[in-house]
């Protein structure tokens, strides 16, 4: 899935920004876009910080910054991370909910789901599964074996390069994650999902506002400014409702 990382507090700028920039020569057979991506990675302070702090990708800082703002990952919380590879969000969640039971008597639980294989994340349960396949949600519910406090979604479809098609695909992922959250969240729970610039689709946003006390869009500082991604953060889950009473089919 898409890149994920986050670390504890602060932007990680300062000294990292003062490093000499690394220039990458365009190698024979390498596309210009690949060269630009590699140069951006080599000069990204969050990439360097993730390596120093042991996170698997720069994306970990996105969920750290979201949690610093909204305080979702509390000790003892039960968390599902959809689209978890390479595991940075799970790493953050394990620490913040105390899934290893190291800091208090409140021990949390973290379940990561992705269609790509991941190295084990100490303190997290991992499932190799395409969440967009039929009955995948039922399999995740069985593995969760109880209600959740937080559902995180960094689900990202394979892109086509066609803007409208890619937008529809990512909204379909967000919608699937949202309806899964409706089934498993405790009252008062939270849902966080990556969307494209412009936010969640209007009809889906309307459903979220019915289900949660507060729904906001947020772009973490670690999200690249030239990226179209942002996150919808829904807090204060109102509890299960009759789906027939809502307008469905957001896309």
Residue 166 lies in a domain: yes
**Is 48 a member of any domain?**
no
pLDDT of 200 = 67
Mean pLDDT across 162-185: 90
Q: Domain containing 116: what range?
A: 59-245
Q: What local confidence, expressed as pLDDT, does residue 170 receive?
A: 87
Q: Does the residue 237 lie in any domain? A: yes
Mean pLDDT of 144-156: 96
In the chain, % of residues over pLDDT 90:
58
- The pLDDT of residue 199 is 63
In this predicted structure, what is the pLDDT of residue 242?
A: 57
Q: Is there a domain that residue 92 lies in?
A: yes
Q: For residue 41, is it within any domain?
A: no
Give the gyration radius of the chain's Cα atoms: 18
Average pLDDT of the residues in 56-75: 96
How many percent of the chain have pLDDT more than 70? 77
The pTM of this model reads: 0.79
Whether residue 121 has pLDDT greater than 70: yes
Q: What is the CATH number of the domain that holds 178?
A: 3.40.50.150
Total number of domains in the chain: 1
What is the per-residue pLDDT for 136?
97
Specify if 24 maps to a domain.
Answer: no
pLDDT of residue 49: 86
Look at residue 167 in the predicted model and tell me its pLDDT.
Answer: 79
What is the mean predicted confidence (pLDDT) over 220-243? 85
Q: Mark whether 4 is an active-site residue.
A: no
pLDDT mean over 140-160:
93
Query: Do strands 185-196 and 109-114 pair parallel, antiparallel, or not at all (unpaired)?
Result: unpaired
Q: Which of 6, 194, 214, 219 is catalytic?
A: 194
Residue identified by tokens 């695909």 is: 169
């Amino acid at each position: 899935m898409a890149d994920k990382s986050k670390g504890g507090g602060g932007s990680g700028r300062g000294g990292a920004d003062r490093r000499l920039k690394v220039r990458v020569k365009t190698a024979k057979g390498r596309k210009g876009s690949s060269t630009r991506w590699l140069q951006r990675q080599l000069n990204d302070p969050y990439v360097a910080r993730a390596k120093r702090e042991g996170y698997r990708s720069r994306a970990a800082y996105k969920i750290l910054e979201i949690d610093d703002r909204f305080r979702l990952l509390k000790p003892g919380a039960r968390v599902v991370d959809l689209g978890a590879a390479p595991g940075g969000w799970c790493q953050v969640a394990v620490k913040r909910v105390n899934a290893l039971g190291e800091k208090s008597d409140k021990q949390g639980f973290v379940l990561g789901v992705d269609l790509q294989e991941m190295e084990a994340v100490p303190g997290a349960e991992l499932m190799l599964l395409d969440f967009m396949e039929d009955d995948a949600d039922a399999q995740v519910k069985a593995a969760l074996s109880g209600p959740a406090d937080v559902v995180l979604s960094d689900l990202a479809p394979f892109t086509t390069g066609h803007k409208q098609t890619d937008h529809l695909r990512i909204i379909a992922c967000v919608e699937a994650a949202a309806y899964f959250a409706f089934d498993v969240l405790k009252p008062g729970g939270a849902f966080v999902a990556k969307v494209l610039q412009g936010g969640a689709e209007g009809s889906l946003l309307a459903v979220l506002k019915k289900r949660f006390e507060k729904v906001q869009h947020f772009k973490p500082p670690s999200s690249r400014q030239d990226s179209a991604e942002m996150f919808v953060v829904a807090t204060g889950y109102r509890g299960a409702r009759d789906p027939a009473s809502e307008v469905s089919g957001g896309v």
